[in-house]
Structure 1
Amino acid sequence: MFSFEVVPGKVVKDILDTSANQIVDLVEDAYLRHDAGLTVNPDSYFLRFPDKPEARIIALPAAIELPEEQRAVGIKWISSFPGNVAEGLPRASAVLVLNDYATGYPKALLEAAGISAVRTAASAAVAARAFARYLPPSGEVAIIGAGVIARTILRYLVTTGYPIESLSVFDLHAESAANLARFATEELGLTAKAVGGLDQALKAQTLITATTAATPYIGQGLRPGQLALNISLRDFQPQVILSAQNYFDDVEHCMKANTSPHLAEQATGGREFVSGTLASVLRGMTLPQPSRGVVFSPFGLGVLDLALGDHVLGRARELGLTHEIADFFGETSRW
């Protein structure tokens, strides 16, 4: 009952790297469980700093009922400090705490930057695969923003077999775009190139945004049959959202924090532009039409992190790769 384990980043990474297909299935299953009411996913909580307005640390508490009557309960604590990039450091860092559902005691601490990136990428892959049934992919893909999330999304699109005949990469930091294009070519076997302008990227049939943009800058509407995976949430101006079919991981969660859909709601005073959720597409309840473009906006649900964290912890235990911290709890009896 009073065991406390730590799973370091290298162990987490190795487990994630060797179970990509299983992770995609876990993420899809978590979306369906959330839709079925088998989760608790409160609002995320943001810690901001007056002298560093671009930086934030976010708490994502959540709980999810898993197969075999298991429950994953805990919280992800993830920081986003864009200034790190100029120092050659990753923008994001994170930990995940898992709690014992019977007692509430913390039972494990996992390095979670990789878990967070992978659950984001897997959600993009699940969405791309689901929408491909209704919007046949042309093979032309573009990604805007060339960081860790973008790299991981590409890996997961390849894992799920999403067609990528040509890949365009755009980033305001040209070196990052070149690095991601080189990674896509050398590591993933794709035909990829860095492009010098946003307009070139917007021509692709499948468009992925993975930036740190705080305010929308894309005003060009989507073409019929075009799919936008709006991963970074604040890239599209409200008129783009209003002219498209819009799907979400969770509607209420996306309508806050001045995301593109939230701005569209503020502009119109309503949510008539909401078409459905990813779960409704997975269940075949809503059918996207190729006559208009589609935007998928995932705010990022903590239940996905918990589902992946539970998987990683279980696998790490099987392999004997957790580190138990003896006497972590100061008192283990009431008297």
Structure 2
Amino acid sequence: MTDMLSTATEPDTPHGGRVPSFAVISGKQVEEALGGREQELVDLVEATYRLHGAGDSVNPPSYFLRFPDRPTARIIALPASIGGSARVDGLKWISSFPDNVRTGLPRASAVLILNDHDTGYPFACLESSVISATRTAASAALAADWLSRTRSRPRRVGFFGTGLIARYIHTFLAGSGWTFDAVGVHDVSPDSTAGFCGYLRQTGATGQVTVHDSAEDLVRSSDLVVFATVAGRPHVTAPGWFAHNPLVLHVSLRDLAPEVLLASANFVDDVEHCLKADTSPHLVEQRTGNRDFLNGTLYDVLQGRAAPPGDQTVVFSPFGLGVLDLAVGKYVYEQVARAGELRLIDDFFHDLRRYG
């Protein structure tokens, strides 16, 4: 392995082309490239949504690998391609094994492969759990901003689920200018709750922190509710909990019963992606036989084609798009390359002679 960035000295192929390089970027490098750049990354995610909405991307359905002997686990493949200045193709391969938490390991792990736009050759493999959490949190912060522009900006935030994603979302809210008078916390795991509260103390988070034993109390006392759980089916079934019309970031996608969504204004990141795999919006479509409950996409809001009502609960349900991973991954690659810290794998590609 070569700890250097260099393509000028790479050998030529027999026909004069450059031998493709391949880099491995570690989680530590990813974190260093992304840390403290929350607003810049929110802006990057917004620009990517605009590219996707304008059709300058390819984002086919995600592919789910499930296991009969491990019904709670899954691995998902998210292929995608994005144009604009990034011009990159690739694939995120992300696993979700909830039982990991009992042994002290994070639930999710992931890698991201970046492919060259012109040759198709993969040129980098990046540890991607941090990239995935970053794009999720940046998307949530972006949605919170745009979906609150027609209503009073929330001052009380509640986190339903207190794992890695909740931490990243709070970090990105704070890093993009949000402050809160109160921070509510609820989780079925006391250890997760304690860990999240410790993070809040260490970072000097604004707002009085309250741990709620009751899910209902958390929802009713929050103007901005963040669902970041590992729920596989709806467990919040009472529309009355949302009578105060909060803004809801339904990041984990399967927490809210159809009754709650039918009583709310609903926005998604991508209609076709979100309404499948038994997400809460998909369950609504199955029940009603239509998609009339949807008010629009986040891109519609960005373009001014849709506006969230100020007198109704607003729910944002993002499926999570592979193009966002590509945009953030390419950003990381460029940061590491500029710093001269790419770790190139010597001779990763072999036998490049067409006829031997």
Q: Normalization by structure 1: what TM-score?
A: 0.97
- The whole-number CA distance in structure 2 between the counterparts of 1:271 and 1:163 is 35
Letter matched to residue 277 of structure 2:
A
Greater mean deviation of Cα atoms: 128-137 or 148-157? 128-137
CA positional deviation for 1:189? 2.2
Instruction: Tell me what 1:321 maps to.
Output: 341
Partner of 2:197, secondary structure, is helix
Matches within 5 A, 1:74-223: 74-190=90-206, 191-203=208-220, 204-221=222-239, 222-223=242-243
Letter matched to residue 242 of structure 1:
L
CA positional deviation for 1:332? 1.6
Partner of 2:231, secondary structure, is coil
Matches within 5 A, 1:43-62: 43-62=61-80
Letter matched to residue 53 of structure 1:
P
Partner of 2:87, secondary structure, is strand
Asked if the contact 2:148/2:154 (under 8 Å) is kept, the reply is no
- The whole-number CA distance in structure 2 between the counterparts of 1:220 and 1:34 is 35
Instruction: Tell me what 1:334 maps to.
Output: 354
Instruction: Tell me what 2:307 maps to.
Output: 287
CA positional deviation for 1:241? 0.7
Greater mean deviation of Cα atoms: 103-112 or 214-223? 214-223
Asked if the contact 1:158/1:188 (under 8 Å) is kept, the reply is no
RMSD over aligned CA atoms reads 1.1
CA positional deviation for 1:199? 1.1
Describe the shift of the 1:186–1:298 C-alpha distance in structure 2 as closer, same or farther (beyond 3 A): same
**2:83 is aligned with 1:26:** no
Asked if the contact 1:178/1:194 (under 8 Å) is kept, the reply is no
Letter matched to residue 147 of structure 1:
G
- The whole-number CA distance in structure 2 between the counterparts of 1:22 and 1:244 is 31
Given the alignment, which residue of 54, 58, 63 partners 1:40?
58
Greater mean deviation of Cα atoms: 182-191 or 308-317? 182-191
Given the alignment, which residue of 296, 312, 326 partners 1:276?
296
CA positional deviation for 1:224? 5.0
**2:27 is aligned with 1:9:** yes
Letter matched to residue 247 of structure 2:
L
Instruction: Tell me what 1:63 maps to.
Output: 81
Letter matched to residue 282 of structure 1:
L
Identity %: 47
Asked if the contact 1:224/1:290 (under 8 Å) is kept, the reply is no
- The whole-number CA distance in structure 2 between the counterparts of 1:136 and 1:90 is 36
Greater mean deviation of Cα atoms: 186-195 or 323-332? 186-195
Partner of 1:66, secondary structure, is coil
Asked if the contact 1:129/1:160 (under 8 Å) is kept, the reply is no
Q: Which runs of 4+ in 1 moved over 4 A?
A: none
Matches within 5 A, 1:290-301: 290-301=310-321
Matched length: 333
- The whole-number CA distance in structure 2 between the counterparts of 1:229 and 1:188 is 23
Structure 2 gap ranges (5+): 1-17
Letter matched to residue 107 of structure 2:
R
- The whole-number CA distance in structure 1 between the counterparts of 2:23 and 2:328 is 16
Asked if the contact 1:246/1:295 (under 8 Å) is kept, the reply is yes
Cα deviation per residue 1:276-335 (whole Å; 9 max; x = unaligned)?
011111122111111211000000000000000000000100111210001001112212
- The whole-number CA distance in structure 1 between the counterparts of 2:244 and 2:299 is 22
Partner of 2:83, secondary structure, is strand
Cα deviation per residue 1:85-105 (whole Å; 9 max; x = unaligned)?
000111110000000111111
Letter matched to residue 91 of structure 1:
R
Cα deviation per residue 1:69-113 (whole Å; 9 max; x = unaligned)?
x41110000000000000011111000000011111111100100
Matches within 5 A, 1:305-316: 305-316=325-336
Asked if the contact 1:244/1:294 (under 8 Å) is kept, the reply is yes
- The whole-number CA distance in structure 2 between the counterparts of 1:71 and 1:215 is 37
